[in-house]
Structures are given as structure tokens and as C-alpha cells.
Amino acid sequence: MRYHYVLTVEVPGVGITTAAETIDLAPGHKRSAVHRAAVEVAVRGLLKGAPPEAEFTAPIVRFWSLDPETLD
């Protein structure tokens, strides 16, 4: 089944980003696993642009939504 998610995550001291993606998931996939993977990808993207000496704390999820792509 196809799903759409929107995630806004902030890494204090580094920046904030929003991702909106469509993904295919097999039945039985866990929402928490999708959330964790999406946050990891977003944080990696933010940290690529950070200077090596940047100090930051744990990421803060500002918004998260995961819904079926098809509107019934």
C-alpha cells in the first residue's frame, strides 16, 4: 500500500527541515519504524550542511503525519 508522510524536524544549533515523501509499505509494517527511518534521513541531511565543529542536541520532531496516499 502507498503512504504519504510529512515530517518537520529541527536539530537545535544546526537547522530545521521538512520532508514530504510517498512510500510503499507492505502490510504489517510498523508506524514507529517508518517514523524512525524518516527522522534519521532528515537529520543526516541537516548534518551534512553543518560545520564539523557545530554542537547540537537531540533532534526535535515538530510535525509528523503518515496517511494512506489514496483518498477514499
Q: Are 13 and 56 in contact (CB under 8 A)?
A: yes
Share of the chain above pLDDT 70, in %: 100
pLDDT of 43 > 80? The answer is yes
Parallel, antiparallel, or unpaired: how do β-strands 60-68 and 15-24 relate? unpaired
Spell out the domain ranges in the chain.
2-68
Mean pLDDT (whole number) for 30-36: 95
Query: 22 and 3 in contact (C-beta within 8 Å)?
Result: yes
When pLDDT is cut at 50, 70 and 90, the band that residue 42 belongs to is very high
Q: What is the pTM assigned to this prediction?
A: 0.84
User: How many other β-carbons are positioned within 10 Å of the β-carbon of residue 32?
Assistant: 8
As beta bridge partners, residue 66 has: 5
How confident is the prediction for the chain on average, in pLDDT?
A: 91
